[in-house]
Structure 1
Amino acid sequence: MRKAPGPLIGKRSLLYRKVAAFSAASWRIRQMCRSFLLVLLGLMVAACASVPPQPEVSEDREVFEGRYELLAQELEIVELEDDDNPLSELYYHLLVAELSVQLDDAGQALDSYLAAMRMADDVRVAERAARLALYERRNNDGLEAAQRWLALAPASPEAHQAVGLFELRHGNRDAALEHFQVLLDDPLIGPEEALARLGVALSQEPDREAGLAVLETIVAERPAEAHAQYVLAQVAAQVGRTDVALLAAQRASLLEPEWRAPYLLNIRIQLQEGETKAALDLLEKVLANRPEDYELRLYYARTLLNMERTASALGQFELLLQERPRDPQILYGAALLAVELERVEQARRYLLRLINVGERLDDAYFYLGRLAEGEGDYNGAIRWYGEAGGDRLVEAQFRIALLLVERGEVRAARQRLARFRREHPEEALRAYVMEAELVRQVGQPDQALVLLSRALGEWPDAVELLYSRALVNVELDRLLAAERDLRAIIRQRPDHAHALNALGYTLVDRTERYQEGYELIRRAHALKPTNPAIMDSLGWAYYRLGDAAKALEYIEQAYQRHPDPEIAAHLAKILWALGEYEEALQVFSEAWEADPEHPALLRAQQFLSE
């Protein structure tokens, strides 16, 4: 006869909630459950040594199938058969703990592991509780768990480290140092690895200054150990104590002049602090003493590249290729640098060598296409683009379509994109957007509108299609239709800066709803404060609201970032309105020379001539 529900029954709802949360992910549960139950069986065997004999549990449980619904039922049977069974209580706490970990509920997991730890003398449970307490920063519980872990495994260097960290959190610096010393003296780990572990742990402590102070004390006792100085430099850099970090890195270099790592750390810190010249001087000095150090030269090349010293970086890549002429990453990097420097023949040589090596073929084909396109060799460009696949496939096919349009073969371009949509349905939406843009560029916005509306029949909520159609509608002066599409995007994605900007600019530029447009542009600017188009829109909104001085502030910044013809037209108009006639004409003239057919400049010309 079954007994009445005992004290565990009140806890069951928590477990059931966690079980239910896992029912939709049974494949993951099966893997976790099998591994967990093996551990659990070990714990139960260990616990049996300290509890009275209990009634046997049926061996035909379906727990071992990993089905958590059945597991919950089984727990109920165990509890109802004998609510005074300590194994049932232990079983409950461990299962809730493990489920809580899987559900990222670290607080509940820690509570359950602590409860289990107090019932069973098992080092694994104590260790798990201590590690969770470190993560949760529950220092009183953590110290209890770590001390239990150490009591069960007194030779464990990891347990000593855990106790030391909790002692440090409690302000017991001397006690912490005693436990850390056990870790550092462990012969199986070795002093260098032990110090590295300790450095990582201390750098992650809530009070990182206290951690650094302890590490300084430890390292002070090892003045002749370069590795100790290096670990101190790393931790000090992470804590933000660059003064300590630089001195420690310098000491490490003096102790072991052939060790590269301290030099690189010193250089990185100086670069972060803005000491560019000092960092480069040191790097060049070290490299001069180690001219054959490939990794160091590669680091130097990348440093130059990050500093936008492109020509110098390419020179270093050329030296690297002398040592490893078939290294695909260096070949590719050198090719991109040569492209950026407009050294066409040099870039072409590197790309052809990359093809010969048989690496990064799609990238090589694509950039060879770009080089040919830049030279006006459209046939050659189309041929190279046609070879590109993989991640370059979509962009290469779109470039081919653009080149066909440039040659006046609009129909062929559209046919190619239509075929691409059929062969690659996963890219059909992007192909529709591309085709619509091509059609619009050749002066057929009505056809672009038809195409985008057809695509929206398949993807009615596609943001890319709605945005493209809105721009076409603005061009066709269908402002209400454009506003509908842009507001549909904003309803879906209130943080879509480009939709906010497009709608705001349309209202400011094409209607008298200036204030409403200004508010939309302000929202866009808050999301992307350095975007030149949005800065230009905001400046134009201020101009339309009558604040030309404020308008000039934003549009000048936009023009500096991106000297676009439309931004130039706005800037010229505002300068003219402020009486800066010569400067206005200069801005307009420079933009006109670059693109005399741009519609915005044609409109500005009329304004300036009035």
Structure 2
Amino acid sequence: MIPLALIALTAAPLLSAVAPQSLPGAALLGGTALAAPGQAWRLAQADDQGADAERPAHRPGTAEAPTDDAAAKAKDAPATPAADALPMRGLAGPYLASRMAAIQNDFPNASDYALRALAQDDTDPFLQDSALVALIAAGEMERATALAGTMADQGRATELARLVRRTELARTARWDALIADLDTAPKQSDASEAPGAELVDGLIRAWALLGAGRAGESLSEFKRLAKTRGAATMVNYHRALAQAKVGDFEGAEQLLSDPTVGAHILGVIARAQVLSQLERNKDAIAMLEASPGLEEEPQLGALLERLKKGETLPFDAVQTPADGIAQVFLTFGSVLVSNDEPDPLALIHARLAEYLSPRLGEARLLAAQLLQGFGQFDLAEQEFDALRELGDMRPVAELARIDVLARAERLDDAEKAALALTAAHPELAQGWIALGDLLRQQDKFTQAVPAYDKAISLIGKDSPEALWFPLYARGIALERAGQFPKAEADFRAALKIRPDSAQVLNYLGYSMVDRNENLDEALNLIKRAVELRPDDGYILDSLAWAYYRLGRYDEAVAPMERAVAAMAGDALVNDHMGDIYWMAGRQREAEIQWHRALSLKPATEAEAHRIRAKLDRGLDAVLAEEEANGGKLPPPPPQPAPADSGSEGD
């Protein structure tokens, strides 16, 4: 079960009918500097493709899940000053500040600056559009509604402004006014060019008709919309909800029993309630027990327990037509997320959905994960907090929340959240993996091992594919905790499951190189990793270092130079390049690399001290000193305290 993919279907037909650019507000987003979110909305899963290849001892124990470009950019980008921190006069200042904040996906400041600009000129449609998008993205729905009303009063309402206006009419149950607004709206000259907008409007109208007490017309409208190319699955889900709402549970069950219509979390909940209303609790129980991922969705588990007690479930999957419209927005937002590159418009739809139906947890979860993708971790945390306040502590939401906190470098809060999740759901292996990753990220390697132990015991030997990552991660923790024999066993076990895992091949190979053990096997392991990921700087560094350990200095130069080209800003890689140049007889170039490594701030003072010693006395002398001192370079002599230039009585 995929909680975020609200409509579990083959997306191609629907997306061909509902292209993102055809949905309301798409044109506005094109004119507003919102960067497309990266992949952070996905839960961090161990994926061998694109993950950083971590190296033992020299690299912090961070998670090996795919890196998040949006998070990295958000971390590195300069913060936008708060709107009240910059005294500005005139239009240009707040306008430019708003644009810069929008480029950085800083929605609160983008909206504040845009409103400041509008205070100077409240008739500029571009400024109004920019402010409206930023206000919705920031969750400032009351201000967005007021602005949309102003745009309508001025006769300059855009598609998005009209959508916000309709959302407010639905929220306040003004159904006749909503129907009139839809019926009198400007029509597309060619409806075939904007099927998405027509479908959204049609679904809203069908729900509004139900709200106005015109149930027959409402159901007829749903049936008409189901004929839209590629949209039958989506529309039939909403039609089923509407039929159940008016008491036609037989008709609703007929629609929801189609796997393409109801095979998602909201559909499963609705169908369980419909079956219970039909006095078919046994069928509802069987359906729930057959649902994949049941143990990860407490909502479904709670329904199952009530059904087993003989309780008749009320139908409250939608309590009002406004809830139905909220699910329309959620449906389209989820479809947009299913694209390879999630559209910023998905966030707009998620925000509209949660505004209409504040208790719709899926809308808040979708918004949270999209905000995470935009690098807006504080806004995402607000959504996760709202989920918890609803009593909706679903593991999928908590795992995403933990990831958000970790990426925002709020590691203490992330660790507390992981501990709370493992306490609430001790049966969930992913919770223990998340806890282990967090502990490892904080260099708490010994503490991380029991967390991975628990996860591995829960997964069991019957699910080997699910075992490889916790085995690999536990191996890292064990190696960093000084227990290499146990770590090696985990790495080899992980390789039996995924023999072509470049991460594991590299880590095991580099571990042996670093320990000066089994160098021939280590070299072969790393060569295989390079074949799999030929442009990975970390793995190229490992290959060069293996050649260095084997005394094959000339062969080490080429891969090390490729590693430096790929990771020019890495202190350790530049340090290694210097060592290899030195041993290859290129002392002047070695010194240049060591100077560069020092300028890049090595991870520890011990590393910096060793580089300074090499610059002072040469690598040969440093190696001799280390050999004479049990493999460690003697620490630098204590520096004399600076002389006190003053004297008593001065």
Which bracket does the TM-score occupy, shorter chain normalised? 0.3 to 0.5
The answer to which structure has the higher helix fraction is 1
Rg comparison, structure with higher value: 1
TM-score, normalised with respect to structure 2: 0.37
TM-score, normalised with respect to structure 1: 0.39
Relative contact order (C-alpha < 8 Å, sep 6+): which is higher? Answer: 2
